[in-house]
Amino acid sequence: MGRVVVDVMPKPEILDPQGKAVAGALPRLGFAQFTSVRQGKRFELEVDGDVTPEILAAALDAAETVLSNPVIEDVVRVAAVPTASAAAITAPVPTTTAL
């Protein structure tokens, strides 16, 4: 089984209120090293078999016509990822317990 990842971001000239809210919260939470945040979308498309150039082309077409709004968003990446890596990327992040 193969997996294609599609990343979509707001166009640079579009305001990003969610990104601004996160950027404002980060310093208050001790992450002052980050100066800007833009929030986008990530899609993971699974296919039977290997990801071929034809499947990547179809994923790009789907990304540009269905997964994004071309008026306000850009498709910034369409890439095949190994299933093991994709599983690691989507694995739950361990939480810490406050004492």
Task: Show the domain range for 75.
Answer: 2-90
- Which residues, given as ranges, of the chain have pLDDT below 70? 84-99
Indicate whether 98 belongs to any domain.
no
Indicate whether 43 belongs to any domain.
yes
pLDDT for 93: 40
Q: Return the exposure string of 52-72: e unless at least 16 CB atoms fall within 10 Å of the residue's CB, then b.
A: eeebeeebeebbbeebbeeee
Indicate whether 96 belongs to any domain.
no
pLDDT for 68: 97
- Our count of domains for the chain comes to 1
pLDDT tens track for 25-49: 999 999 999 999 999 999 999 999 9
Indicate whether 48 belongs to any domain.
yes
> What is d(CA 40, CA 49) in angstroms, rounded to the nearest whole number?
28
* pTM listed for this prediction: 0.77
pLDDT for 83: 72
Indicate whether 60 belongs to any domain.
yes
The burial class, CB within 10 Å (0-12 / 13-18 / 19+), for 99 is: exposed
CATH of the domain at 30: 3.30.1280.10
